[in-house]
Structure 1
Amino acid sequence: MLEVTSTAEENRLEVDFAEIYRRSNLFQRNRELVENLSKPSGNSKELNFPSKYSQSFFEQFLACLWKQNLSYWRNPQYTAVKFFYTVVISLMLGTICWKFGSKRFFYMASFLMLFTAQESQQDLFNAMGSMYAAVLFIGITNATAVQPVVSIERFVSYRERAAGMYSGLAFAFAQVAIELPYVFAQSVIYCSIFYSMASFEWTALKFIWYTYFMYSTLLYFTFYGMMTTAVTPNHNVAAIIAAPFYMLWNLFCGFMIPHKRIPIWWRWYYWANPIAWSLYGLVISQYGDDDKLVALSNGADSMPTRVLLKEVFGYRHDFLCVTAVMPSISRGDDDKGEYAYAVVSHKHDSV
């Protein structure tokens, strides 16, 4: 059919098939038929649906969460590798920080006597360094690893949202929710390995605090990586945008430059820095209530651990509950980027 009515055949036969059809009775009959069918009958009603989507928002969220669960389960390049490097980093930091916590005290079981080994100021700083390194190593790796995954899922969602399967809000909330159990498992793996190798004080409360702060830290790093991907065209641009903030967070976290030594006009950024709150919580949850003497770097004087933390870093144990809330606020701020992207997508779908 196409060969017979092609432009080459028209030129060879010197005819215009379109013009012939336009002058034919068939064209007139078809035109009248289209006009009649385009006019609704007197008793017909316009199509009207109570909502844009066939399911409620919660049902959309569950469907997206189920889809994300299958996607993550079938993506061991992301999930399994994340657990693998968590184990590797845990063992690496655990061997570097081997039994740092045990320097606070030791027991002579044979004589049922307690001998107190005075911890030095450098030992305390080394323990803080282990927490600082873990936050940066695993946190930045989480933020970087999640960016290509979110980028791929976003392009898939364009097609599915165009088909009216779900709203952008449901997709964004599901994308955030699926990370919660994976990051929790990652936190438990790291804390179980490192906490035991570093020999921090084995009490249920302190271990729970340590796990909580690491969980919050890894969550806001992961959500930060998702946020940068959501507000940029692709994960390559997201990596470029995210990198400067890692440097700023590292600089103003209070470890390399203690809070009291930061110029007063820059201290506001210390309080706005999520890593600073994570390090604050990790340190005071382990050492903030410790009254054991610490030998100072001058070799002559000593002071209680909690006093040293307050004098040098400004850490106070009575600030622990406030510190526990701040990482949650950081997670919420990172979620706002995903939420803003979802709102824009939702409005675009409505148009």
Structure 2
Amino acid sequence: MPASVPLFVGYVGQNDEHFATLTVKETLQFAYEFAGGSSNGAAELTPQLTPGHVIEALGLNHCQDTILGDATILRGVSGGERKRVTLGEGLLGRQSVFLLDEISTGLDAAATLDIISLLKHKFVLEQGRAVVVSLLQPAPEVFELFDDVLVLNDATRYLVFEGILVLTLLASIAWFFVVAAVSSDRNVAFPVAMASIIAFTLFTGFVVPKDQFPVWLIWGYWIDPLAWSLRALAINSYRSSSLDKCVGYALPGTMTALMGSSGAGKTTLLDVLAGRKSSGSLIRGRSHEQLKRVSIGVELAARNSLLFLDEPTSGLDAQAAAIVMRTARRAADQSRCTIVCTIHQPSASVFNLFDKLLLLQLGGEVVYFGDSEVSSLKTYFERLPGATPLPSSYNPATWILECVGAGVTKLSNHEEEFAQHFQVSNHYAMLTKALEGQQTQQDEMVELNFSAKRAASSWTQMRMLTSRFWALYWRTPSYSLSRLILALGLGVIIGALFSGSDFATYQGVNAGVGGIYLSLSFSGIVAINSVLPLAIQDRAVFYRERSTQSYNALWYFLGATLAEIPYVIVSSLFFTVLSFTIMGFTDGGDSSWSVVTITLYWLMIALFMLQQVYLGQFLAYALPGVELASLAGTLLSNLLVLFSGFNPPSSSIPGGYRWLHAIAPQRYTLAALTALVFADCGDDDRFGCQSLQNTPLELEGLTVKQYIESVFEMKREDIARNTVVSLAYAVGFQLLGLLVLRFISYQRK
């Protein structure tokens, strides 16, 4: 049954996820073909479901040949148009049930009313399908179109969690009171109490699972109070109870509105009903609504003199939207902050919070600017050609948009007259006069100069950004743990691959150098590609915060670079210990030599990994996307590692390619590591002092050290120089990253 659910149930999620480079028409055509398309006569059976009809119904004619774009880099259609494309994809299917999750987010009130009306008449009344929609801020006229309403409330589990802990604490106190009462003195009570704690812990079912208890001991599990507490905590924490008592139904030919406060479980319910609820993710985090409120709170906390809010209520329920806008209103009143915000579906109470209204029609022409009081708006808009009077108890925001022909059905035929009507109105004359007055005052004002470009000091910027990056890395185990696991795996694999080599032979010493070469090759590629997604993901946040001059790019970059150091040190330590010991490099001298050599080896590996991480950060900041950055990083790493001096050896590299050998950062690390292990001849028992066995005739009589120095050109006396050059590369990549972060931006807004 679960596998066949998508055949009967169509689902439209709240996130707009599309191929950014496809046009609106191509996206809908693609979805149409995979939903059956014209191959089985679907166009004749349901003509309203073809891409052309969906484009017409959703008001996408003017942008059907425009690429979709994304929200950060590639500019395409607007957010509301992208939301309509998402809805259109879902409507192209022929399922009997449609589950639509917050489809009004990013749409104006008139467009929302038109779309819900379309669903009501075309899909419900004409075709008899069942439609379930979750909405956050439905206007009264939208609300009236639904047949049934299911309202959910927030189901938090924190109080239950605390209650279980309190009961466990009380039970523990009672038990220790019993132990103290029956014991003759504390010398008896303390051992008994500790023994009981151990027994309670062992029988909780955590250390030893319940199914593995011997039959004759299972009674201990059932009488253990901690076992009951653990089960209660596990059920409360890992089993969602928010929908246990969720009861409702959706009949064919009806529309059901799914409403509720942010976090009530609306999206989860639709996921479950559509059979698309996954088993979970590493980090779910806050809901979309809560993240929206956090973003707004960050800007309000900055206490700016001028604040632009782009759709601050989109994705919020009516109560949350009212709270946010009342907070913005209070900020404007108390701190004299100028606030300009775009808003799509304001309720009547939210709409009344505004002082002025600037209304634009398609094409960016001004239709109205003036007071937002209902009486003033009513007087003006009822004079427009084709306008209908404001019905009683009707949302004035919705009525205004309908008057000027907004929405997707374009009920008004006088769009070109609205802008002209405004230009000859008293409102326009008052606007022009007010602007002239502002210009006169501005000429008389003294230029406002600030002593500092940013409000926060350099120390505050560095401290806060470094702390934020530390928290980001600590709370992103998918990044740090994956690197650690890869380091462990590579260390074991490379070590095991070369563990049987005899480093006194020609083949063995080449294998040893090859092991070091592979260590650098793989660890470099892993370091570059691991950091790319995290760096590019956080880059979008940097673009937003840089536009408000919150901090200097230097401190942002410094925080990102410092946060990498401990993770690189730990992962390189695990890699070095495993690969160095398993390959047998510890046999190259006495214990003191091994300790010193492995320590220096580890520090060089750590420096190289850090260098490659900084190269990855530079590519992430310099290139538009993670795909191109990964391709460039892999290509660059593979190209340069070929000329690092192993194959071909440094002495055999053709003269025309020597410049590549000179600029390859892997060359200097490889030379230092190889010289550490094989070019040391302080004592007779070290690898470098041994005579090379099984060699070609031209290499007869050479020691391992002489072979390494003559063929690979890697000398122990050059270790300090190679280390300095490797460090210079790391610093150079950092500086390049800082420069591109400062002067290059892929934000196209």
Contact 2:622 2:741 in 1 (8 A): no
- CA distance change for structure 1 residues 284 and 18 in 2, over 3 Å: closer, same or farther? same
Alignment check: 8 A CA contact 1:99 1:200 kept: no
For 2:476, the equivalent position in structure 1 comes to 75
Q: CA-to-partner distance for each residue in 1:163-184, whole Å, 9 max, x for gaps? A: 2211222212222221111111
Q: Aligned residue for 1:341? A: 740
SS at match of 1:146: helix
Q: Which runs of 5+ in 1 are unaligned?
A: 105-118
- Partners of 1:324 and 1:37 lie apart in 2 by 63
Q: Aligned to 2:674, which of 243, 262, 283?
A: 283
Q: Does residue 128 in structure 1 map to residue 513 in structure 2?
A: yes
Equivalent of residue 184 in structure 1, options 546, 562, 569? 569
**Residue 93 of structure 1 pairs with residue 494 of structure 2:** yes
Task: Please say which of residues 281-290 and 233-242 is displaced more in the overlay.
Answer: 233-242
Q: Does 1:169 align with 2:523?
A: no
2-side partners of 1:53 and 1:129: how far apart?
Answer: 52
Kindly provide the CA deviation profile for residues 305-332 of structure 1, in whole angstroms up to 9, marking residues without a partner as x. 1111122212222111111111111112
Alpha carbons 2:465, 2:559 under 8 Å: kept: yes
Aligned counterpart, 1:222 = 613
CA–CA separation in structure 2 for the residues paired with 1:267 and 1:48: 55
2:536 aligns to what SS in structure 1?
helix
CA distance in structure 2 between the aligned counterparts of 1:251 and 1:162, rounded to whole angstroms: 42
1:336 CA drift (Å):
2.5
Which amino acid letter does the alignment assign opposite residue 291 of structure 1?
A: C
The answer to whether structure 1 residue 193 and structure 2 residue 578 are counterparts is yes
The answer to whether 1:293 aligns with 2:710 is no
- Aligned residue number for residue 459 of structure 2: 58
Conserved? CA contact 1:135–1:275, under 8 Å: yes
Aligned length: 330
> Residues 121, 72 of structure 1: CA spacing in aligned structure 2 closer, same or farther, 3 A cutoff?
same
Match for 2:658 among 251, 259, 267?
Answer: 267
CA contact under 8 A between 1:281 and 1:323: conserved in structure 2? yes
Which residue of the partner structure matches residue 361 of structure 2? none
My pick for the range that moved more, 45-54 or 169-178, is 45-54
Q: Deviations over 1:208-230 (max 9, x none)?
A: 22012111211111111111111
The Cα of 1:7 is off from its aligned counterpart by: 7.4
What amino acid is aligned across from residue 568 of structure 2 in structure 1? V
Query: For residue 76 of structure 1, what is the amino acid of its counterpart?
Result: P
Q: Distance in 2 between matches of 1:291 and 1:8?
A: 101
Per the TM alignment, residue 45 of structure 1 is displaced from its structure 2 partner at its CA by 5.7
Equivalent AA in structure 1 for residue 693 of structure 2:
A
- Residue matched to 2:702: 303
Deviation at 1:6, TM superposition (A): 4.5
Comparing 239-248 with 83-92, which one deviates more in the overlay? 239-248
**Separation in structure 2 between the aligned mates of residue 213 and residue 10 of structure 1, nearest angstrom:** 78
User: What are the within-5 Å matches in structure 2 for residues 108-257 of structure 1?
Assistant: 119-201=504-586, 202=591, 203-257=594-648
**In the alignment, is residue 329 of structure 1 matched against residue 728 of structure 2?**
yes
| Shift, 1:98, TM fit | 2.1
1:150: how far off? 0.9
Amino acid at match of 1:166: Y
1:231-250 Cα shifts (integer Å, max 9, x gaps): 11111121222233223212
Alpha carbons 2:622, 2:744 under 8 Å: kept: no
Deviations 1:56-96 (A, max 9, x none): 33321222111111111111111111111111111111221
Q: Distance in 2 between matches of 1:32 and 1:245?
A: 61
In the alignment, the residues of structure 1 paired with residue 640 and residue 584 of structure 2 have an alpha-carbon distance, to the nearest angstrom, of 28
The superposition leaves residues 34-58 of structure 1 with CA deviations (integer Å, 9 ceiling, x where unpaired) of: 76677669x9865432101112333
CA distance in 1, matches of 2:717, 2:583: 25
Instruction: Work out the CA distance in 2 between the residues paired with 1:282 and 1:74.
Output: 34
- Distance in 2 separating the partners of 1:155 and 1:16: 38
Verify the 8 A CA contact 2:619 2:633 in the aligned structure 1.
Answer: yes
* Aligned mates of 1:217, 1:36 — CA distance in 2: 63
Per the normalisation by structure 1, the TM-score is 0.82
Are 2:532 and 2:626, in contact at CA under 8 Å, matched by a contact in 1?
A: yes
CA contact 2:384–2:418 (8 Å) conserved in 1? no
Contact 2:516 2:673 in 1 (8 A): yes
Whether 1:318 and 2:713 are equivalent positions in the alignment is no
Q: Deviations over 1:18-39 (max 9, x none)?
A: 9699776x98888777766776
Q: Alignment partner of 1:295: what SS?
A: coil
Cross-structure match for 2:226: none
Structure 2 distance, partners of 1:335, 1:79, is 20
Whole-Å separation in 2 of the counterparts to 1:160 and 1:16: 38
Partner in structure 1 of residue 351 of structure 2: none
1:47–1:187 Cα change, 3 Å: same
Aligned-pair CA distance for 1:302 = 4.0
Distance 2:465 2:744 in 1: 15
Higher RCO, 1 vs 2 (CA within 8 Å, ≥6 residues apart): 1
Q: Distance in 2 between matches of 1:12 and 1:308?
A: 93
Cα deviation 1:123-148 (Å, max 9, x = unaligned): 11111111111111111011011111
Paired letter, 1:75: T
After superposition, the Cα gap between the structure-2 partners of 1:317 and 1:38, relative to the gap in structure 1 and judged at 3 Å, is: same
One-letter amino acid of the structure 1 residue matched with residue 508 of structure 2: D
The alpha-carbon distance between structure 1 residues 281 and 17, as it changes in their structure 2 partners (threshold 3 A), is: closer
Identity rate of aligned residues, in percent? 18
Equivalent position amino acid for 1:295 in 2: Q
Contact in 2 for aligned 1:168/1:345 (Cα 8 Å) = no
Name whichever structure is richer in helix by fraction.
Answer: 1
Is residue 525–residue 634 contact of structure 2 (8 Å, CA) maintained in 1?
no
RMSD of Structure 2 on Structure 1 (CA): 3.3
- After TM superposition, the score normalised by the length of structure 2 is 0.40
Distance between the aligned counterparts of 2:676 and 2:617, measured in 1?
Answer: 29
| d(CA) in 2 for partners of 1:160, 1:295 | 63
Please report how far the alpha carbon of residue 303 of structure 1 lies from its aligned counterpart in structure 2 after TM superposition.
Answer: 2.4
